[in-house]
Homo-oligomer: A and B are copies of this chain.
């Protein structure tokens, strides 16, 4: 699955009294971008849950904050699947503003059975698109 780009605008809700984006809110941006990446491949997470009994859960995240984003800026979230395992996958994501990298993340996502919340093998249809 190729690198996927998703533009995001910074609103007041994203910033804090330090004048920059609050550090937890970058995780919202990363999540939005992963959701849109799936959507771009035809996968809607509500349908995956209701029809296929699948949900994705974050198992771990490593974030490096290099330079802050500010109110009203337009940023880009770049997302790529770097590794595809049997029941999990790893995303490499970065946030840039005009080619300057602001923030980088490595995110491990587990595929879970939506009812039991136990690990579930990633279905072939998804696997084919992720590769």
Interfacial residues, chain A to chain B (CB-CB below 8 A): 9, 11-13, 15-20, 22-25, 27-28, 31-32, 35, 44-46, 55, 57-65, 68, 70-72
Q: State A120–B117 Cα separation when bound (angstroms).
A: 32
Give chain A's interface secondary structure class: mixed
Which residues of B are found within 8 Å of A13, using beta-carbon distances?
Answer: 16, 22, 24, 28, 31-32
Which residues of B are found within 8 Å of A20, using beta-carbon distances?
Answer: 17
* Inter-chain pairs besides A61-B63, A62-B62, 8 sampled, C-beta below 8 Å: A12-B31, A15-B17, A17-B17, A18-B55, A24-B27, A45-B72, A46-B71, A60-B63
- Give the shortest distance, in Å, between A28 (CB) and chain B (any CB): 5
In the complex, what residue of chain B is closest to A106 when comparing beta carbons?
Answer: B62
